[in-house]
Amino acid sequence: MTERSAPPRRKRRWLVLFALTAALALVAGACTAGDGEAAGSYTDIINERGLTDEQVEAALKTYVPSGQWDEYVMFASGGHSGQVIAIGIPSMRILKNIAVFTPEPWQGWGYGNVEQMKVLEAGNVGDNQISWGDTHHPALSETNGDYDGQFLFINDKANARVAVIDLRDWETKQILKNPVSIVDHGGTMVTPNTEYVIEGGQYGNPLGWEYAPLEEYEAEYRGMVTFWKFDRDKGRIDESQSFALELPPYWQDLCDAGKNVSEGWVFCNSFNVELAKGKSVDGADFEAGVSAGENDYLHVINLRKAEELFKAGETIDVKGFPVIPLDKLIDAGVLYFIPEPKSPHGIDISPGGEYMVVSGKLDPHVTIYSFDKIQQAIADKNWVPDRYGVPVLDFDAVKEAQIEVGLGPLHTQFDDKGYAYTSIFLDSVVSRWSLGPPYKEGDEAWKLVGRIPIQYNVGHVAAAEGDTVSPDGNYLVSLNKWSIDRFLPPGPLLPQNLQLIDISKEPINPTVDVTGTDPNGMQLLYDMPMALGEPHYAQIIKADKLNPFEIYPEVGWDPATMQVDPEAPVPGNERVERDGNTVHVYMTAVRSRYTPDRVEVKKGDRVIWHITNIEQSLDATHGFALPGYNITLSLEPGETATFEFTANESGTFPFYCTEFCSALHLEMAGYFLVQP
Amino acid sequence: MAKMTLRDRVLGPRVPPEQRAAHAERYRRPMMLFGGAAFLLVVSIFLPYWILRLRAPQFPDGLVVRAYLNRLEGDVETLEGLNHYVGMPSFEYGAVLERSLSIIALVVLAGLLIAAFAFHNRWVVVFTLPALVFPLMFVADLQYWLWRYGHSLDPKAPLAGAVGEFTPPVFGPARIAQFETLALPGPGFVLALVASGLVAAGLWYHRKAYKPLLDQLYGKARS
């Protein structure tokens, strides 16, 4: 090495420094250029679309990029669609319209599958087949008062029925017709460990909805609340352990189960203490008659004592179902009433179970009762009997607070910060107010702290886990009945409007004006047109509590039993067997063929057709459609199903896969031939 | 001093032709003002007198009622439907007499104004006073009915208790349940108001025209 070939040390150091600086400058430049470009592009979009800062903020809060999942799932009833709709939050994307009371062809629900037909037929009323429902209040199963993500219950107001949905496969497993009442409303709610599913009645009817003239309303008509015993291991309601209470015909409305300190008690409100019987008897229509009085009665029910009466056999028989008669309820101290402001439409228990919140929809306040005070009034016998002899507790003795929240208050949910949220129908706002101790103390307690306008006519509200012992806060959905001008008009039947509201921020001001519309920290994020039905109530569960099957665990899985069906067709044993006039078909389905792909019978044969989707890949669902016989199935990976019919039409019927399954999906077909 | 004929006694003095020729404008002016007022009153029959605008959250475009002298137009049926919650009487029971007489009354008012052309003395006041005070009577009557409606709530109406008795103002903003209301004078009322002004002006010019004539013909004491 010569001196010349090696550059001086100092010079080399400079060179390194220069290179480093240049590199840094380049990197920095690139970064700046990158940022500048992005900023330019989205500010352009904001400007082009004329979005305000708040709208941009809302968009950013609700956007869930492709491939990412929502934080919460909302299960909303579908109203008179008879179904339950699952919606991701905050994106408000529909995940599934779960078929419950109404046959639904995409899920193959009720189009031949014998197990499903059995579930639906259990919901028939007498000889009448009922092929729709009016779902109102979904209830997620709970463990220690918190959603556990295992089951979902839903009622049908139109026919007083209750359904059980298994959240392993999001399918309906059981439908029960209430033997006592023909309509319900106050269901479903669950006790804190899902021991019971509560179904409260609504319009009074003679027990078992036997005939009685309206003139005999007071003597013959009755209300009810039914406690359906849930067998978690079986995933079914156990009818033999279930019972109902006979109640005065006061048109029971909604119920809620006590929790924590009030566990073991159940609260239901009512709205026809007036005993209105309609124009034909009263000369005034129900609308006026039912809302004439200043008070209705909150029903306070000691469920543990009711259970004791049931177990002691202190029941009467109504259509084979045990009902504890009213006089026994009174004697045993099961039932108490509390005056509540006129025509209430909500009863909601605070997370700790200390407070019962009622809104009289024709009174601008929420009325809050204290569980301790209720217990004290019962202990003090601080009551007067009502016309049926039920003790009516003294209002002032049990009232904790009344807060003016606006015109037409309905339902209340709770958050993690000590606030409650009440839907205000006439004012079309959601009012936020603070709870009392232990949630908020002193000056901060029982204050109206926000009123966010919604569009329009809110019914229920649902906050994230907002009716559990540990609400999450974060989000609230306002389930609005009218959308009026919010969406492109699809003809005269407009969608509902589900509005997502950010409730994560604390109020800015200590209180707001009850006639004003100061959201005071709440922010409207998103309008979702709901055109599948009219959701009434909804519950919002943290998505990670749900752990559904991705595919059925084994090939040949029967969703009715949640086990492998040993008789299920599997590869190698596909066949067609004839037994007299009965033909058994054992078929498998896999991309992209049915085996066998030809089934031939004689006209008049009874066909019992078993089919298994033997796929084990995520999303490899096959359909099975049999033209001319009103049969369509959805076979999810691993699922086996059976359908039965009489081949009463001779001819040639190509069957095919309805779920686009593969490149050769169109080839997935076969022939059902019926010889004349 | 001229002797008063019966006709002159009732209708006032005739204007001597030479005087009329000399001061045509002076005698025409009250007639034109009364005539104009009569015309405006007749036109006002076809225009709304009172406009009530209502806004509520669930009616983002608002609702409107336009009260003509004999009928209501606008979102009347919607409001009738909503009203049963509050329990005010139905619109059909309001101001029945006034509505049934109003058209004839207005025509009579206009006719009286035309008839007033013939009167050259103080009797003119009798024929013009109704038109002069008509807007005031309209407002008073409307206020009466508004008070009556706000104080006749059906106690059985679901929201009667929550809303409570109230008196909506004839003009200006108010609040009933979740509705913000704004009551405004309609163009018909404005015309009636202008007509009233024309009548007042007409009376002024009438006096200016005929007072000197009366004084001249019968002496100051008679006027």
DSSP SS3 for A220: helix
Neighbours of A567 (CB within 10 A): 14
Identify the pLDDT of residue B162: 77
Say how far apart CA B159 and CA B175 lie, in whole Å.
Answer: 14
Token pair recorded at residue A634: 């959805």
A294: contact with B, CB 8 A cutoff: yes
Residue A5 has pLDDT above 50, yes or no: no
Say how far apart CA A21 and CA A60 lie, in whole Å.
Answer: 37
Contacts of B159 in chain A (CB under 8 A): 362, 407
The 10s digit of each residue's pLDDT in A566-610 is 999 999 999 999 999 999 999 999 999 999 999 999 999 999 999
Which residue in chain B is spatially nearest to A427 when comparing CA positions? B178
Say how far apart CA A149 and CA A156 lie, in whole Å.
Answer: 21
Say how far apart CA A570 and CA A566 lie, in whole Å.
Answer: 10
DSSP one-letter code for A128: B
Q: In DSSP terms, which residues pair with A502 in a beta bridge?
A: A475, A523
Contacts of A408 in chain B (CB under 8 A): 178
Type of residue found at B111: G
A656: contact with B, CB 8 A cutoff: no
Residue A178 has pLDDT above 60, yes or no: yes
> Cβ A362–B159 below 8 Å, yes or no?
yes
The 10s digit of each residue's pLDDT in A491-511 is 999 999 999 999 999 999 999
**CA distance to partner chain B, nearest, from residue A456 (Å):** 5
Contacts of A342 in chain B (CB under 8 A): 158, 161
Which residue in chain B is spatially nearest to A484 when comparing CA positions? B58
> Cβ B57–A408 below 8 Å, yes or no?
no
**CA distance to partner chain B, nearest, from residue A360 (Å):** 11
Which residue in chain A is spatially nearest to B155 when comparing CA positions? A292
Domains of chain B by residue range: 27-218
Task: Return phi, psi of residue A314, to 5°.
Answer: -80, 55
Identify the pLDDT of residue A528: 98
DSSP SS3 for A434: strand
Angstrom distances, CA of residue A338 to CA of A265, A377, A396, B169: 14, 10, 10, 40
Token pair recorded at residue A627: 């033209």
Residue A27 has pLDDT above 90, yes or no: no
Contacts of A362 in chain B (CB under 8 A): 158-159, 161-162
Nearest to B177 among A363, A426, A482 (CB): A426
Mean pLDDT of all residues in A24-40 = 52
DSSP SS3 for A79: strand
Q: Which helix (H) or strand (E) holds A318?
A: strand A316-318
pLDDT, averaged across chain A = 94
> Cβ B60–A429 below 8 Å, yes or no?
no
Token pair recorded at residue A670: 């076969």
Identify the pLDDT of residue A353: 98
Say how far apart CA A382 and CA A390 lie, in whole Å.
Answer: 12
Angstrom distances, CA of residue B76 to CA of A123, A640, B67, B147: 45, 61, 10, 19
**CA distance to partner chain B, nearest, from residue A362 (Å):** 6
Identify the pLDDT of residue B122: 86
Say how far apart CA B141 and CA B119 lie, in whole Å.
Answer: 30
- pLDDT under 70: residue ranges of chain B: 1-3, 220-223
Say how far apart CA A303 and CA A244 lie, in whole Å.
Answer: 11
Q: How confident is the model at residue A316 (pLDDT cuts 50, 70, 90)?
A: very high
Say how far apart CA B72 and CA B52 lie, in whole Å.
Answer: 11
Q: List the domains of chain A with CATH numbers.
A: 72-545 (2.130.10.10), 557-675 (2.60.40.420)
Which residue in chain B is spatially nearest to A516 when comparing CA positions? B178
Which residue in chain A is spatially nearest to B162 when comparing CA positions? A363
> Cβ A485–B158 below 8 Å, yes or no?
no
Identify the pLDDT of residue B223: 41
> Cβ A455–B57 below 8 Å, yes or no?
yes
Mean pLDDT of all residues in A394-399 = 98
Q: How many CB pairs under 8 A join A and B?
A: 49
Residue A81 has pLDDT above 70, yes or no: yes
The 10s digit of each residue's pLDDT in A180-236 is 999 999 989 999 999 999 999 999 999 999 999 999 999 999 999 999 999 999 999
Q: How confident is the model at residue A337 (pLDDT cuts 50, 70, 90)?
A: very high
Identify the pLDDT of residue A20: 61
Say how far apart CA A622 and CA A662 lie, in whole Å.
Answer: 10
The 10s digit of each residue's pLDDT in A602-638 is 999 999 999 999 999 999 999 999 999 999 999 999 9
Q: Which of A285, A362, A478, A481 to mutate to test the interface with B (most CBs of B within 10 A)?
A: A362
Identify the pLDDT of residue A13: 61
HEC string of A498-535 equals EEEEECCCCCCCCCCCCCCCCCCCCEEEEEEEECCCCC
Token pair recorded at residue A360: 């009289």
Neighbours of A224 (CB within 10 A): 26
The 10s digit of each residue's pLDDT in A278-314 is 999 999 889 888 988 889 999 999 999 999 999 999 9
Distance, C-alpha B69 to centroid of its chain: 9
Cβ–Cβ under 8 Å, residues A542 and A464: yes
Q: Could you tell me which of A186, A205, A206 has the C-alpha nearest to residue A301?
A: A186
Mean pLDDT of all residues in A441-458 = 97
Residue A376 has pLDDT above 90, yes or no: yes
Type of residue found at B126: V
DSSP SS3 for A423: strand
Phi-psi region of A67 (alpha: psi -120 to 50; beta: other; left: phi over 0): left
Nearest to A482 among B58, B161, B162 (CB): B58
Token pair recorded at residue A73: 């799932």
Identify the pLDDT of residue B108: 94
Identify the pLDDT of residue A362: 83
Residue A28 has pLDDT above 70, yes or no: no
**CA distance to partner chain A, nearest, from residue B155 (Å):** 8
Q: How confident is the model at residue A33 (pLDDT cuts 50, 70, 90)?
A: very low
A360: contact with B, CB 8 A cutoff: no
The burial class, CB within 10 Å (0-12 / 13-18 / 19+), for A262 is buried
Which residue in chain A is spatially nearest to B177 when comparing CA positions? A407
Mean pLDDT of all residues in A374-394 = 98
A192: contact with B, CB 8 A cutoff: no
CB proximity list for B6: less than 8 A, separation 6 or greater? none
Say how far apart CA A358 and CA A36 lie, in whole Å.
Answer: 54
Nearest to A288 among B57, B61, B156 (CB): B156
Nearest to A456 among B57, B84, B158 (CB): B57
Q: Which helix (H) or strand (E) holds A576?
A: strand A575-579
Nearest to A407 among B60, B157, B177 (CB): B177
Which residue in chain B is spatially nearest to A429 when comparing CA positions? B57
